[in-house]
C-alpha cells in the first residue's frame, strides 16, 4: 500500500497554537491544513476531505457543540476536540455528540501524537470489530472468542457485567469512552441515571486486573469525562 | 427575615362600671350592713352601728363615682335612723343628733369617691404605659438581633403594622440635594393612589407623619411615617388605612415613639454595615496587593526564564551544541509547566474565594480520585515512597471528583515541597461516625507549633526559604483545599504525626448511600 501522508485539518483561531501544531505535526510527517474559523473549517472539511480533524471548542464564530454536530452530520472523519481545563462538561458533550477524543490545553506533543494515532487507527479497523480476536495490553490478555481473561498467565474470573465493561473498552482501545456511553453500552439506556454502577464495577475490574488498583495503568480514569483503556505493553 | 408578630394592638383602657351597677352596689353594701347589724341591734350602741355603716359607705365610695357615693350615704343614714335608732321603724327627722353623723358620712363618701376615682385613673394610666413600654422594650430587643438596615426596616414596618392593624411597607426615596420636589415613588399597591404618593412626598419633605389621625391628610387612605438616618431622609413607612379607620392618639404616639426607636436602630445598623463593608474592602485590597506581588514574582520568574531560553534558541547561529539546545528547551518546558500550575492555582483560588465553586456530586469510590491525583503528581514524586492504603471496604462517597482530586494533588504537592526528597508519604482513610476521614501523612519537619491554622490561610508560606530545593508555591494550595473540603461539608486540619512529620486530615460527610447494583456470580 502506498504510504500517503495523512491529512490533518486544524480548526483553531489562535495563531501561535496553529504554529506550534503545524511545526510539530509536519515534523511527524502529517500534511497540515489550517482553518481559523468554524465556517472556514467546514469548507476545508468538504474541500480537502482530511483524515482527521483537530477542533478547538472555543472558536469565536460558533458554539463548539454546533461545529461538532455539523462535522458529524456530514463526515465520519475522526474528530479530536481541544478545550481548556475545567470545561469537562463541554468535552463530555462533544464526545457524546460523536467526537472521537479530546485534548486539554495545555497538552504535550506525546499526548497529541498518541491521540491522533489512536483515532487514525480506529478507522483503519472496521468499526465494531477487532483486527485480532485476542487483545493484549499491559500484561492482560483477553481472548474475545473464548471469553477468557488472563493476568500474566493466571486466569481471571470476571462477572458478566465486568466482562461486558472490559470488552466495551477494548473495542475503543486507546480512546476515551464517556461515563454515559459505557453505562448505555453495559447497563442499557436506563442506567445513565446511576453513574456509580460504572464506578463500582470499574473499581472491581481494577482490583482484578491491575497490579495496583489505586495506580491503574490499563484502565485509566479521565477525570470528569470517562475511562480509557491504555493499549501497549 | 420573618418575624413572629406578637399581638401588638393596644388593649383599650378598662371601662368604669356602669352607673346602674354602681347604684346597685351601693344598695347592696348598705343592705348588707343593715342585715348584719339587725339581729344584734339590742347589744350595740349607735356609735358602733354608725361606724359599720360608715365602713359600707367607704367601701361603696372608693369604687364609685360621686352620685352612687352620695346615694350610699343617704341610704346609710336613713337605714341607720329607721332601723337602729329607737324608736325603730320611724324616720326621726326632727332628731338633730344624727345630722352631724350624716354630714360626716357624706363628706367621707365624697372624699373616698374622689380618691378612688383618682387611684383608678392612675392605675389605668400605669397599665397603659406599662403596655406601651413593653412593646417598645420588645422592639428594642428585636432590633438588637436585626443585623442589616433592611432587617431593621422590615421589623419596624411589621411591628408598627401590628400596632395599627395594617400591613406596613418601607418605600425608599433617594435623598437628593437639589432633585425634584417629589421623589420617584413606586406606583404599585397603595402607592397606586396619587393621593398616597402626594402624602408620602409631604411626609418625606417635612419629616412628619401624614394621614388619618394626624394634623394633615386625614382623608388619605394611608398613614405615612418618615424614616431618616441621622436626619437624612431615607423614605417612608406606609400603612394602608381603610376608610373610617383613624388611629387613636395613643396609637399614633406609640407609633411615633417606635419610629424614633427604629430610626436609631437603623442608624446603628447602617454604621455597622458601613464598617463591615470597609473591613471587607480592606481585606479585598490586601488580597489584591498580595495577589499582585505573588503574580509579579511567581509568574515573572518562569516567564523570564522561558523568554531567556527561547530567545537564545531563536538567535542561535549554529554555535549552540545539541546538548545546550536540549537543555534550553527542557528549561522552557519545566518553566511553562510551573507557570501553568500557578495560573491554575490562582484560578482555583478565585473560584473558591468568590463563592462560585459549584460542587457536582456523584457517588464514587475515593480510590479513583486518589489514583488520578497520584498520576498527576507522579513525575514530581521522584523516588519517594508513596503508600496509598485505602481500605477496600471504604463506603462510596458523594463528591465532586475533580475537586477532591485537587485536594489530593495539593496535599501531595504540599508534602513534596516541604519534606526531604526521600521521605515517605502515606495516604490512608477510615470511617468515623458519619464521615470518612482521609489522612495524608509525611515524615518531614512537621508544621511549626502554633502555625496549624495559619498554613490554611492564603499566601502563607510557613517556614523559611525553599527548604528542600523545591521552588515555593504561591501559598494557595492548602487554602484551596480548605475551600473545597468546606464546600463538601467537611473539615480539614493538620496535626503532628506520631513519630515525626505532619498529618493533614480532612473529612467527607457520609449522608445516605446510593442504590447498589445487584451482586452477580463470576462467569
CA distance B434 to B449: 30
Q: What is the pTM of this model?
A: 0.59
Q: Higher pLDDT residue, B437 or B251? A: B437
B523 has a pLDDT exceeding 70: no
| Residue B3, pLDDT score | 43
Structural domain contains residue B516 = no
The reply to whether B200 and B219 lie within a common domain is yes
CA distance B446 to B496: 6
For the segment B447-487, what is each residue's pLDDT rounded down to a tens digit?
A: 888 788 878 877 666 654 445 545 556 677 888 899 889 88
3-state secondary structure at position B56? helix
Nearest to B261 by CA among B116, B139, B403: B139
Chain B environment of A201 (Cβ under 8 Å) = 517
Structural domain contains residue B67 = yes
Closest-CA residue of chain B to A216 = B371
pLDDT confidence tier of residue B179, bands split at 50, 70 and 90: low
Torsion of CA B495, B498, B501, B504, to 10 degrees: -30
The reply to whether B402 and B494 lie within a common domain is yes
Calculate the alpha carbon distances from A178 to A103, A185, A195, B397, B467 in Å.
Answer: 14, 11, 11, 21, 42
The reply to whether B368 and B504 lie within a common domain is yes
CB within 8 Å: A199 and B396: yes
The reply to whether B498 and B455 lie within a common domain is yes
The reply to whether B485 and B370 lie within a common domain is yes
3-state secondary structure at position B336? helix
Structural domain contains residue B61 = yes
A26 has a pLDDT exceeding 50: yes
The reply to whether B122 and B170 lie within a common domain is no
CB within 8 Å: B396 and A207: no
Chain B environment of A146 (Cβ under 8 Å) = none
Is A231 in contact with A172 (CB distance < 8 Å)? no
The reply to whether B368 and B456 lie within a common domain is yes
B521 has a pLDDT exceeding 60: no
The reply to whether B372 and B472 lie within a common domain is yes
Closest Cβ–Cβ partner in A85, A161, A203 for B520: A161
| Residue B469, pLDDT score | 47
The reply to whether B128 and B155 lie within a common domain is no
CA distance B65 to B118: 10
Fold for the domain defined by A7-124: Rossmann fold (3.40.50)
For the segment B35-85, what is each residue's pLDDT rounded down to a tens digit?
A: 988 888 888 887 888 888 888 888 888 888 888 888 888 888 888 888 887
Is B225 in contact with B255 (CB distance < 8 Å)? yes
| Residue B187, pLDDT score | 80
| Residue B308, pLDDT score | 87
Structural domain contains residue B517 = no
The reply to whether B86 and B156 lie within a common domain is no
**What is the arithmetic mean of pLDDT over B408-432?**
91
Q: Which CATH code of 1.10.10.10, 1.10.357.10, 3.30.540.10, 3.40.190.10 fits the domain covering A134-229?
A: 1.10.10.10
For the segment B305-333, what is each residue's pLDDT rounded down to a tens digit?
A: 888 888 888 887 778 888 888 888 888 88
Nearest to A151 by CA among A142, A162, A159, A160: A142
CA distance B508 to B398: 8
The reply to whether B268 and B371 lie within a common domain is no
**What is the arithmetic mean of pLDDT over B229-239?**
86
DSSP E strand stretches across B176-324: 222-229, 232-240
> Of all helices (H) and strands (E), which one includes residue B40?
none
A52 has a pLDDT exceeding 90: yes
Chain B environment of A159 (Cβ under 8 Å) = 520-523
ipTM: 0.82
Question: Chain A: nearest CA to B163, how far in angstroms?
Answer: 55
Calculate the alpha carbon distances from B6 to A3, B3, B131, B159, B257 in Å.
Answer: 90, 9, 12, 8, 18
Nearest to B260 by CA among B352, B136, B377: B136
Structural domain contains residue B444 = yes
B381 contact A CB<8A: no
Question: Chain A: nearest CA to B361, how far in angstroms?
Answer: 11
Calculate the alpha carbon distances from B151 to B155, B255, B271 in Å.
Answer: 6, 18, 14
Calculate the alpha carbon distances from B500 to B83, B442, B446, B506 in Å.
Answer: 110, 8, 7, 19
Q: Give the residue numbers spanning the domain of B131.
A: 19-138
CB within 8 Å: B401 and A161: no
Closest-CA residue of chain B to A108 = B333
The reply to whether B93 and B48 lie within a common domain is yes
Strands A52-56 and A79-84: parallel
For the segment A192-213, what is each residue's pLDDT rounded down to a tens digit?
A: 778 888 999 999 999 999 988 8
B392 contact A CB<8A: yes
The arrangement of strands across the sheet holding A148-151 comes to A134-137, A140-143, A148-151, A154-156
Structural domain contains residue B204 = yes
CB within 8 Å: B340 and A224: no
Where are chain A's structural domains?
7-124, 134-229
Is A20 in contact with A9 (CB distance < 8 Å)? no
B102 contact A CB<8A: no
Closest-CA residue of chain A to B397 = A196
**What is the arithmetic mean of pLDDT over B429-438?**
92
The residue out of B318, B335, B353 marking a domain boundary is: B353
**What is the arithmetic mean of pLDDT over B332-337?**
86
CB within 8 Å: A199 and B520: no
The residue out of B138, B168, B197 marking a domain boundary is: B138
**Identical fold at A7-124 and A134-229?**
no
A:B CB pairs within 8 Å: 72
Is A141 in contact with A150 (CB distance < 8 Å)? yes
Chain A environment of B367 (Cβ under 8 Å) = 203, 213-214
| Residue B287, pLDDT score | 67
In percent, the amount of chain B with pLDDT more than 70 equals 88
Q: Higher pLDDT residue, A170 or B352? A: A170
DSSP E strand stretches across B326-370: 362-364
CB-neighbour burial class of residue B342 (10 A; exposed 0-12, middle 13-18, buried 19+):
buried
Q: What is the mean pLDDT of chain A?
A: 87
Closest-CA residue of chain B to A222 = B372
CA distance B211 to B239: 9
A34 has a pLDDT exceeding 90: yes
B467 contact A CB<8A: no
Q: Which residues of A touch B (CB under 8 A)?
A: 85-86, 88, 106, 147, 157-161, 163, 194-197, 199-203, 207, 212-216, 220-221, 223-224
Q: Kindly report which listed range (A148-157, B49-58, B487-496) carries the lowest average pLDDT score.
A: B49-58
pLDDT confidence tier of residue A125, bands split at 50, 70 and 90: low
pLDDT confidence tier of residue A109, bands split at 50, 70 and 90: confident
Q: What is the mean pLDDT of chain B?
A: 83
CA distance A120 to A136: 19
B368 contact A CB<8A: yes
Structural domain contains residue B10 = no
Structural domain contains residue B29 = yes
- What's the number of domains chain B is made of? 4
B420 has a pLDDT exceeding 60: yes
**What is the arithmetic mean of pLDDT over B79-103?**
76
| Residue A195, pLDDT score | 84
Amino acid at each position: 500500500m502506498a504510504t500517503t501522508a495523512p491529512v490533518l485539518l486544524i480548526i483553531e483561531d489562535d495563531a501561535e497554537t496553529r504554529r506550534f501544531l503545524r511545526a510539530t505535526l509536519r515534523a511527524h510527517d502529517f500534511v497540515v491544513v489550517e482553518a481559523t474559523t468554524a465556517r472556514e473549517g467546514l469548507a476545508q472539511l468538504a474541500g480537502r476531505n482530511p483524515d482527521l480533524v483537530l477542533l478547538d471548542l472555543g472558536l469565536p464564530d460558533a458554539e463548539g457543540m454546533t461545529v461538532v454536530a455539523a462535522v458529524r452530520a456530514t463526515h465520519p472523519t475522526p474528530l479530536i476536540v481541544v478545550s481548556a481545563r475545567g470545561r469537562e462538561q463541554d468535552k463530555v458533550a462533544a464526545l457524546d455528540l460523536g467526537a472521537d477524543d479530546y485534548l486539554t490545553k495545555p497538552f504535550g506533543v506525546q499526548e497529541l501524537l498518541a491521540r491522533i494515532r489512536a483515532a487514525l487507527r480506529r478507522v483503519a479497523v472496521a468499526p465494531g470489530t477487532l483486527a485480532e480476536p485476542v487483545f493484549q495490553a499491559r500484561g492482560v490478555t483477553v481472548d474475545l472468542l473464548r471469553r477468557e481473561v488472563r493476568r500474566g498467565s493466571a486466569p481471571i474470573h470476571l462477572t458478566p457485567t465486568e466482562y461486558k465493561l472490559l470488552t466495551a473498552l477494548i473495542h475503543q482501545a486507546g480512546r476515551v469512552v464517556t461515563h454515559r456511553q459505557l453505562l448505555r453500552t453495559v447497563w442499557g439506556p436506563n442506567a445513565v441515571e446511576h453513574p456509580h454502577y460504572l464506578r463500582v464495577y470499574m473499581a472491581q475490574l481494577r482490583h482484578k486486573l491491575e497490579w495496583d488498583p489505586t495506580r491503574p495503568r490499563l484502565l485509566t480514569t479521565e477525570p470528569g469525562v470517562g475511562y480509557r483503556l491504555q493499549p501497549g505493553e | 427575615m420573618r418575624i413572629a408578630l406578637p399581638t401588638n394592638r393596644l388593649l383599650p383602657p378598662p371601662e368604669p362600671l356602669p352607673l346602674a351597677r354602681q347604684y346597685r352596689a351601693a344598695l347592696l353594701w348598705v343592705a348588707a350592713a343593715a342585715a348584719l347589724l339587725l339581729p344584734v341591734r339590742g347589744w350595740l350602741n349607735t356609735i358602733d352601728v354608725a361606724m359599720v355603716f360608715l365602713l359600707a359607705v367607704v367601701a361603696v365610695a372608693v369604687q364609685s363615682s360621686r352620685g352612687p357615693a352620695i346615694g350610699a350615704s343617704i341610704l346609710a343614714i336613713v337605714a341607720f335612723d329607721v332601723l337602729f335608732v329607737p324608736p325603730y321603724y320611724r324616720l326621726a327627722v326632727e332628731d338633730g343628733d344624727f345630722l352631724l353623723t350624716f354630714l360626716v358620712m357624706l363628706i367621707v363618701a365624697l372624699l373616698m369617691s374622689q380618691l378612688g376615682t383618682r387611684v383608678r385613673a392612675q392605675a389605668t394610666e400605669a397599665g397603659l404605659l406599662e403596655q406601651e413600654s413593653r412593646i417598645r422594650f420588645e422592639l428594642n430587643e428585636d432590633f438588637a438581633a436585626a443585623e442589616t438596615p433592611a432587617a431593621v426596616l422590615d421589623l419596624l414596618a411589621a411591628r408598627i403594622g401590628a400596632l395599627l392593624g395594617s400591613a406596613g411597607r418601607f418605600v425608599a426615596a433617594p435623598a437628593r440635594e437639589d432633585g425634584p420636589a417629589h421623589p420617584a415613588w413606586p406606583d404599585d399597591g397603595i402607592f397606586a393612589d396619587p393621593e398616597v404618593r402626594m402624602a408620602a412626598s409631604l411626609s418625606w419633605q417635612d419629616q412628619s407623619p401624614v394621614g388619618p389621625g394626624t394634623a394633615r391628610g386625614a382623608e388619605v387612605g394611608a398613614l405615612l411615617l418618615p424614616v431618616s438616618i441621622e436626619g437624612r431622609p431615607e423614605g417612608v413607612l406606609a400603612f394602608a388605612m381603610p376608610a373610617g379607620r383613624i388611629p387613636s392618639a395613643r396609637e399614633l404616639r406609640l407609633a411615633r415613639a417606635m419610629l424614633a426607636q427604629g430610626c436609631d436602630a437603623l442608624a446603628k445598623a447602617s454604621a455597622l454595615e458601613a464598617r463591615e463593608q470597609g473591613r471587607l474592602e480592606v481585606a479585598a485590597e490586601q488580597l489584591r496587593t498580595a495577589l499582585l506581588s505573588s503574580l509579579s514574582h511567581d509568574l515573572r520568574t518562569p516567564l523570564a526564564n522561558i523568554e531567556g531560553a527561547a530567545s537564545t534558541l531563536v538567535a542561535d547561529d549554529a554555535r549552540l551544541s545539541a546538548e545546550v539546545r536540549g537543555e534550553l528547551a527542557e528549561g522552557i518546558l519545566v518553566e511553562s509547566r510551573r507557570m501553568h500550575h500557578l495560573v491554575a492555582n490562582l484560578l482555583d483560588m478565585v473560584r473558591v474565594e468568590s463563592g462560585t465553586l459549584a460542587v457536582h456530586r456523584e457517588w464514587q469510590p475515593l480510590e479513583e480520585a486518589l489514583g488520578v491525583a497520584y498520576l498527576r503528581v507522579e513525575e514530581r514524586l521522584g523516588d519517594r515512597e508513596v503508600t496509598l492504603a485505602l481500605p477496600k471496604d471504604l463506603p462510596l462517597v458523594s463528591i465532586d471528583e475533580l475537586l477532591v482530586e485537587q485536594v489530593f494533588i495539593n496535599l501531595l504537592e504540599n508534602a513534596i515541597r516541604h519534606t526531604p526528597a526521600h521521605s515517605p508519604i502515606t495516604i490512608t482513610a477510615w470511617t468515623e461516625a458519619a464521615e470518612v476521614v482521609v489522612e495524608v501523612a509525611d515524615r518531614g519537619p512537621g508544621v511549626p507549633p502554633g502555625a496549624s491554622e495559619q498554613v490554611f490561610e492564603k499566601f502563607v508560606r510557613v517556614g523559611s526559604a525553599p527548604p528542600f530545593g523545591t521552588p515555593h508555591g504561591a501559598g494557595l494550595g492548602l487554602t484551596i483545599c480548605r475551600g473545597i473540603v468546606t464546600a463538601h461539608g467537611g473539615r480539614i486540619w493538620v496535626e503532628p504525626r506520631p513519630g515525626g512529620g505532619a498529618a493533614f486530615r480532612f473529612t467527607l460527610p457520609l449522608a445516605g448511600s446510593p442504590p447498589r447494583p445487584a451482586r452477580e456470580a463470576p462467569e
